[in-house]
Structures are given as C-alpha cells and as structure tokens.
C-alpha cells in the first residue's frame, strides 16, 4: 500500500494527561485525509508530533515507507511535510514575500534577491491558484489571504504533505469555498493533505477518508463515501448528536439594549457602522446576519467599549453607556464572548483560574483589602470548569495548554457565569466540536429563558437560523431588515445579506 505518512502506535503525554494513546494514522498519497475528534481529543498534538514540535514517548513514524525521526520542524520540512497552524505564525510588519522566504532566502552575492523571491512567489501562487499580493504587508491583508501566505510558505519549502489544523474555523463562508478549491488543486498537483476540521459537511465534501479519535485513542478510519455526518458525530462523541436545538417560543420583555444612529470608524478610519439602529429585549436572542466586513466587528467593539463611537447612542437598561471604558460596560451588566479569543478572551500565560476572574478579580470576594483571594478564585474556576465541561487537567493549568475548543468553552463559561443582562456572543461556537456546539446552543437558549438579552453574531447561517428569535440583517454598516427565522429561508437570508431588500411573497427577486 502506498502510504506517504504512517504514524504507528503514537503515544504522547503531558503532565497529568495522555494526549495521544496508541494512535495510528495512515495517509495515502494524493488523498485528503480528515482527522476528526472532540475538543481536546489530541488532534493538534498528533499533528505537532508529525511536524517535529513534540517528541512522542512511543511509536513510529514512516514517510514514504522509511522510518524517520522528526526531531524538529526543519527535519519535517526536509521530509516534505508542511503545516498550516490554526493560529498563524506570520510577522505582521513583514511583507507577504518576506514572510514566505524567511529562513530560506534566495541570495545574490551576499544580499537577499527580493525580486527573484517575488517572482518565485508569483509562480507558485499562479500554479496553485493562491491569490496573494507579494508586496503587501501582513498587517494590511485579510485573514483569508494570511492563510494563503501560510500555505505558500509550506509550498515554497517544497511540501508534499500538507497539514491543515482547523483552517476553516477562522474563515468566512466565501473564503472557505476558495480554500476548498485550493485544496482540490493541491491534490491534482500530487500533494497529500491531512485536514483537521469540526465541520462534518466539509469532510463529506472534500475528504477521501477520515480517522476518528476520542479522548486520545484511535477509534478507526473510514471511507467518507461509506459514512454520514450522524455516524461520524456518534463515533467522535460516543453518543447521538441532535443537529438542531429545540426551543420554545420566546417571551421578550423590556428593552435591554437600545442603539440609535450609531456611527463607528474601522481601524483604517473608514466609516464601518453608518447610522445603525437596533434593539434587543430581555428574553430574546437577536442574531446578526451579514457578510463579513459589513460593520459587525466594529459594532460589537463599540458596544463593549473597545472602539470609540463617533456619534449615536448605546443604552443599556435605559442608561447611556456610549463610549464608556470596557470595565464600566462590563460593570453595567454586559458580557462578551469575543470573536478573537487570543486577543481579548484569555491571557494564555495565566492559569485557567486567573482567566476566570479577569473582569472580577478586584472585587469582593475575589479580592479582599486589595489582596487576591486565591481560594475563592480557584473555587469559582473549578465550578465553571465542571459546569461547562472544560477539559483541563486542573484549574491551575495555564490557558495555553488547553486545546483550542476548551479555551473557547472556558471563555463562554466565564461570561455566562457573570450573570449579565446583555450577553454578546460573537462567533461563539468557532472551533467547537458538534457535541460542544449542541451544549453551548442549549446554554444560550437557557440564558434567554432566564430573561437575558442575547446578541448573537455568527457567520454560520445554521446557527443564526436555529437560535435567533429575530434576525437583524446588517449591510454596509446598517440594519437593513429584521426578519423572523420561522418565515425566512436561508436563500432569502442570503439575498438580504447581499443587500437586496426582502421582496413581497410571490414576486420575482432581483439581486
């Protein structure tokens, strides 16, 4: 059998946990092989072993049939293995080309031949359909383009086997579509791909085979043709997963969040929110649907005090909170599950316990007379961990050591636990496995039923349709329509998001 990669009986331990326990993964040449498992199952760890970032305690790795010893990522590169990490490793101040050639620069006598490098970057990007601007600075380009730079970086180093760790978690639907096209081209060009994703639809669409792991152990490898999302979900979480969350009719009360004529500029100084009006009542979930870049992020940042509003008002329970500092907004009764969990959500070098009190550490009982009360802090953390099923060895573990999905669950737990009047959830289930998504959806509905106002922003239309009591469509910085999810199809929603006003029933819709 032609395997390009064989990982046989791999064992990798961390203090207090066996992350990989006798896992076997065999990848055929020219296939897209999915690696599927719950949050914390050990997927990233296994791929970090393959890429030489971790050394396994036991097991054997073979590349093209040859036993190898991958002591560091340079060895992996030389063996033709490239990895696109979930959290990109690019240097913001450098250009696209500089990032791609870093450490492998073409030289002209003693200087770097940047023209030649740009030429090479153009050639590879043309060949694989990876659209980038070689001269652009990383800080100025979209997440989708940054990801293409990461892919080019591996190809420039001669990668034949590409590892993608949750590449679609950070992308918009349009970018996901493009990435799928790129993966197909890579396969046609003879590459092999290992793909980690929680989206079963993606596995069904692009993958040839799938290996499932659960709690660090291999469950088996299946042909995608012979399976279906229900079976995959069952295999990975060990129980049936409902793909739709049940909820009763909402019973909205008084206005909690009232936004009037809000104007906010983005980081480049361009007006991103342009005269936006929106109300969220107690006991309802309002979902914001829109194509990325229509002002969603700036809106949330303005409400939470992370970005200044130029004009307009934001009221919470009738009180003006426009342009208050983040801490004041929090104290007024707002919780925020942020879109970027590493920038605003967690301090990775703090313990989980410390992270659970980032907004409350200075208050009784977490502090007494200005001194942190660690007993209370860790007690609180322990209860959030238990209640939100955060898989961690303990509350004393550093946030960095948690799997991506478990970091997310910890943030959600902390924000819900603060018992806010308004809960803002931005892409709340990004990076979560299907079981965890179901759980978080139930918790959001429960918050609504407890009379909280919930503002949900998500690119997952399923999620918006499933959870929202009302859907507010955002387009070019304003809410252009409010629709009832029970009386709207995904197609209609898609058209509205593209800027067309809802047509009356029976009429022809023009875009």
Ligand X SMILES: Nc1ncnc2c1ncn2[C@@H]1O[C@H](COP(=O)(O)OP(=O)(O)OP(=O)(O)O)[C@@H](O)[C@H]1O
Q: Which residues bind ligand X (CB under 6 A)?
A: 14, 17, 19, 37, 39-45, 391-392, 401-406
289 binds, among ligand X, Mg ion, none (CB under 5 to 8 A by kind): none
Q: How far apart are CA 218 and CA 9, in angstroms?
A: 9
Closest CA to 215 of 19, 8, 404: 19
Q: Which is nearer to ligand X, 14 or 396 (CB)?
A: 14
Q: Per CB under 5 A, does 404 bind Mg ion?
A: yes
Spell out a b/e string for 461-473, using b for 16 or more CB atoms within 10 Å of the CB, else e.
Answer: bebbbbbbbbbbb
44 near Mg ion, judged by CB under 5 A:
yes
451 φ/ψ sector (left φ>0, alpha ψ -120 to 50, else beta): left
Q: Which is nearer to Mg ion, 4 or 47 (CB)?
A: 47
What residue 287 binds from Mg ion, ligand X, none (CB within 5 to 8 A, per partner kind)?
Answer: none
Alpha carbons 387 and 379: distance in angstroms, whole number: 12
- For residue 438, the minimal CB distance to ligand X (Å) is 15
Check residue 197 for interaction with Mg ion (CB under 5 A). Answer: no
Please, what is the minimum distance in Å from the beta carbon of residue 165 to ligand X?
A: 7
For 197-254, list the strands marked E by DSSP.
Answer: 209-214, 217-223
152: left (phi over 0), alpha (psi -120 to 50) or beta: alpha
Q: Is the CB of 42 or the CB of 353 nearer to ligand X?
A: 42
Among Mg ion, ligand X, none, the one that 14 touches (CB under a kind-dependent 5 to 8 A) is: ligand X
Question: 32 or 41: whose CB is closer to ligand X?
Answer: 41
Min dist CB 19 to ligand X, Å, is 3
Q: Minimal distance in Å, beta carbon 248 to ligand X?
A: 31
Part in contact with Mg ion (CB under 5 A); list of ranges 53-61, 323-331, 399-407, 489-497: 399-407
Q: What does 391 bind: ligand X, Mg ion, none (CB cut-off 5 to 8 Å by kind)?
A: ligand X
Nearer to ligand X, 35 or 138 (CB): 35
* DSSP strands (E only) in 143-225: 161-165, 192-196, 209-214, 217-223
- Shortest separation between residue 176's beta carbon and ligand X, angstroms: 17
**Cα dihedral 217, 220, 223, 228 sign:** negative
Which C-beta is closer to ligand X: that of 154 or that of 406?
406
Please report how close the Cβ of residue 11 comes to ligand X at its closest, in angstroms.
12
Using CB under 5 A as the binding rule, the residues of this chain from 98 to 117 that contact Mg ion are none
Q: How far is the CB of 358 from ligand X (least distance, A)?
A: 20
Tokens 């005269």 — which residue? 275
Residue 384's Cβ-count burial label (10 Å; 0-12, 13-18, 19+) is buried
Choose between 312 and 405: whose C-beta lies nearer to Mg ion: 405
Q: Both tokens of residue 279?
A: 């109300």
CA–CA distances in Å: residue 414 to residues 157, 455, 456: 42, 17, 17
Residues that bind Mg ion (CB under 5 A): 44, 404
């Amino acid at each position: 059998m032609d395997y390009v990669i064989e990982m046989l009986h791999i064992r990798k331990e961390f203090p207090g946990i066996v992350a990989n326990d006798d896992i076997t993964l065999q990848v055929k040449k020219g296939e897209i092989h999915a690696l599927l498992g719950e949050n914390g199952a050990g997927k990233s760890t296994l791929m970090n072993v393959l890429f030489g970032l971790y050394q396994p305690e036991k097991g054997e790795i073979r590349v093209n049939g040859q036993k190898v010893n991958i002591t560091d990522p340079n060895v992996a590169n030389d063996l033709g293995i490239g990895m696109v990490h979930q959290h990109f490793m690019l240097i913001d101040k450098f250009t696209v080309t500089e990032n791609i050639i870093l450490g492998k620069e073409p030289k002209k006598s003693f200087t770097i031949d940047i023209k030649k490098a740009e030429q090479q970057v153009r050639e590879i990007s043309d060949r694989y359909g990876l659209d980038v601007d070689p001269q652009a600075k990383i800080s100025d380009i979209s997440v989708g383009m940054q990801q293409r730079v990461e892919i080019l970086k591996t190809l420039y180093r001669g990668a034949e086997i590409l590892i993608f760790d949750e590449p679609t978690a950070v992308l918009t639907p349009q970018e996901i579509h493009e990435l799928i096209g790129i993966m197909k081209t890579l396969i046609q060009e003879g590459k092999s791909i290992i793909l980690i994703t929680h989206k079963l639809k993606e596995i069904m669409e692009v993958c040839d085979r799938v290996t499932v792991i659960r709690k660090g152990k291999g469950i088996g490898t299946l042909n995608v043709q012979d399976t279906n999302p229900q079976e995959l979900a069952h295999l990975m979480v060990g129980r049936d997963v409902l793909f739709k969350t049940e909820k009763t009719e909402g019973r909205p009360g008084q206005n909690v969040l009232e936004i009037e004529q809000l104007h906010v500029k983005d980081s480049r100084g361009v007006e991103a929110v342009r005269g936006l009006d929106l109300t969220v009542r107690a006991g309802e979930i309002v979902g914001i649907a829109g194509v990325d870049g229509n002002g969603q992020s700036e809106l949330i940042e303005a409400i939470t005090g992370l970005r200044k509003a130029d004009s307009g008002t934001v009221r919470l329970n009738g009180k003006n909170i426009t342009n208050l500092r983040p801490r004041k907004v929090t104290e007024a009764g707002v919780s925020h599950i942020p879109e970027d969990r590493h920038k605003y959500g967690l301090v990775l070098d703090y313990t989980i316990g410390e992270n659970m009190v980032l907004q409350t550490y200075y208050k009784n009982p977490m502090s007494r007379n200005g001194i942190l009360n660690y007993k209370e802090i860790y007690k609180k953390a322990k209860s959030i961990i238990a209640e939100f099923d955060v898989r961690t060895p303990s509350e004393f573990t550093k946030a960095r050591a948690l799997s991506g999905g478990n970091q997310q669950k910890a943030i959600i737990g902390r924000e819900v636990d603060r018992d806010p009047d308004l809960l803002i959830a931005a892409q709340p289930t990004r990076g979560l496995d299907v079981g965890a998504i179901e759980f978080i959806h139930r918790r959001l509905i429960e918050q609504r039923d407890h009379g909280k106002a919930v503002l949900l922003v998500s690119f997952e239309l399923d999620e918006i349709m499933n959870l929202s009591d009302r859907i507010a469509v955002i387009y070019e910085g304003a809410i252009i329509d409010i629709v009832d999810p029970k009386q709207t199809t995904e197609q209609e929603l898609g058209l509205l998001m593209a800027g067309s006003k809802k047509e009356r029933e029976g009429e022809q819709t023009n875009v």
